[in-house]
Each structure stands twice: as structure tokens, then as C-alpha cells.
Amino acid sequence: MPVTPIALSGGVVAIGGRPILRGINLTVEAGEFVALMGANGSGKSTLVRALTGLRPLAGGRLELFGTPFDEFEDWRRIGFVPQRTGATSGVPASVWEIVASGRLTHRRLFRPMSRIDRAAIDDALEVVGLADKARDGVATLSGGQQQRVLIARALAGEPELFFLDEPTAGVDLPNQYALADALGQLKARGSTIVLVAHELGPLEPLVERAVVMRDGRKVYDGRPLAHADVHAAHHESPYALHVDHAPRVVAPLESDQADVR
């Protein structure tokens, strides 16, 4: 019986004192392919950041692979693909070098790379279909190819649990198919995958479970929904208008008071 990769109960995240996530309960079992969905600002990216420890929890309890988060040290079991339009920095870097940095969870300080490390990097590049571009500078690749490089980087560490934050955002359709193909291979290998997506697109056949977020709360958890359902009808609040958390500033002598909510 494999351990449960993610168990979050009563998860609360506050940024600047304002609640962003409230009372989230989420358990992901080994081998699941979960899509976190919802509108912009619904808290889906924040949830992934909370699960990876990039955003501290203000309340609740998070366990990764059965270990309370504060004691969790086994980072090689986790692969993270951040939300990113590019993979470039101030200095050129080759595709191979970026992917190789995903191998650091397995390497010791001041030690050269082993043959196993190199094989894992080559394998990761093979899965995302960029083996022939290994020596190219990452800045010369298209946005979709750069996104695949970031996936290969997470893949090189041979993790069991993947977090992907909006992997398809701003990626052209051919690259979305390449991406779906790579994720399909991961799924076939038995990896647990949690991804944030606004729209599923070519990923749709892979998704087994959809978690829909709205206003920092989990509003749906179950079989994947058609795109229209996520954004419409029964998840919509009875109040047609979206209410901001920010207090509305209204002049005291505002004449058009009827419009103020």
C-alpha cells in the first residue's frame, strides 16, 4: 500500500492578513492525475504554492508522503514545474544545463555527476521530445518548448509527485500536444500529478479528477467537468456580480448610491 502523497486538512493561507485559501481539505492518492481548476484569482495557484511550501500555511495541517510538512526532507520525491513564460536568465544556459539542475536532489556537494544522473537527464529530455535540442541555448527555444524544458527539469529528479502550475498557459497547440504526450508517459509510469489549469485542452483525456476552486474555497471535487460547467451555472453564486475582498472606496457624498454594493 503506497503512502498518500498529499494530505491537507483545514488548509488556510493568508496574504497580508487577507484570506486567500480557507479551510481546504485535499487528499491525493498515489497515481492520481488531478487538475486544479477555477477562474483567475480563485486560489488554485496559491494552493499549489502552499502544497510545495512556497507559501506558508496560516492554519491547517499538511502531510507529504505521510510526513508532517515541517519535518519533510525527502525533496527528491517531489517535482515542481513553476508558472513561467520563459526559462531564461541574465546568462545563457543550455537546455541540458537547465534539466541537469533538476538532478540536484540526488547529488552531493562538490561531487561530479554520476552516470545514473546523466542517464536520468537524457531520459527526461527524451520524454518531452527535446533530446535533439539538448545543446541549444534555452533562450533560442519557443515559449512552449521552454515550458517542456521546465517539465524535463522536474522529471530529471525522478520524483513520484509532480506539481505543475499552469503548464499550458501561453503555449501553442502543437506544444500542448507534446506536453500532453509527456504527461501521459508520466501517468503511465505511475506518477502522481497535480496540475493547475485554466483550460485543459489536449490534457483533458488524462485528467481523472478535477478540483474546482472559487474564492479561495473548494467548490467541486470529482470527475472532470466540461469547460462550460467549471465557469457557469451551478458553481456560480446567487449574486451575479463578483464581490472584491478589497473594501470599496466610496465618496461620502456619492450621488449614485443605488449602484453601491
Partner 1 sequence: MSPAELFAQPFIQRALIAAFFTGLAAPAVGTYLVQRRLSLMGDGLGHVAVTGVALGLLTHTSPTWTAVVVAVFGAAVIELIRERGSANGDVALALLFYGGLAGGVLLTGIGGESATHLQEYLFGSILTIDVTDVIITMVLAAVVIALGVGLAPQLFAVSQDQEFAKVSGLRVRGYNLLVAVLAAVSVTVAMRTVGLLLVSALMVVPVATSQQVARSFRTTLGGAMALGTFASLGGLVISIFASYKATVAPGATIVVLALACFAITWPIGSLLRRRRRLAEPFPVDPVAPVLHEECENTHDHQHGPDCGHLAVEHGDHVDYVHDGHRHAVHVDKAGARHYDEH
Q: Which residues form the interface with partner 1 (CB under 8 A)?
A: 52-54, 73, 75-76, 78, 80, 82, 84, 87, 89-94, 96-98, 100-102, 104-105, 107, 109-110, 135-137, 140, 142, 150, 153-154, 157, 163, 172-174, 177
Q: Which residue lies nearer to partner 1 by CB, 84 or 217?
A: 84
Which amino acid is present at 43?
A: G
Nearer to partner 1, 136 or 204 (CB): 136
C-alpha cell, 136: 541549444
CB-wise, 84 or 235, nearer to partner 1?
Answer: 84
Q: Supply the minimum distance, in Å, between the C-beta of residue 209 and partner 1.
A: 22
Taking the complex as a whole, the smallest distance from the CB of residue 187 to partner 1 amounts, in Å, to 19
Give the integer Cα–Cα distance in Å for 231 and 8.
25
SS3 state of residue 23: strand
Closest separation in Å from C-beta 161 to partner 1 = 11
Let me know: does 106 contact 76? Beta carbons within 8 Å: yes
Q: What are phi and psi of 244, to 5 degrees?
A: -75, 155
Closest separation between CB of residue 201 and partner 1, Å? 12
**Closer residue to partner 1 (CB): 35 or 180:** 180
Q: Which of 22, 12, 20, 43 is nearest to 214 (CA)?
A: 43
What DSSP assignment string belongs to 191-259? -EEEEE-S--GGGGGG--EEEEEETTEEEEEES---HHHHHSGGGS-SSSS---SSPPP--TT-S-GGG
Q: Which is nearer to partner 1, 148 or 214 (CB)?
A: 148
Closest separation in Å from C-beta 76 to partner 1: 8
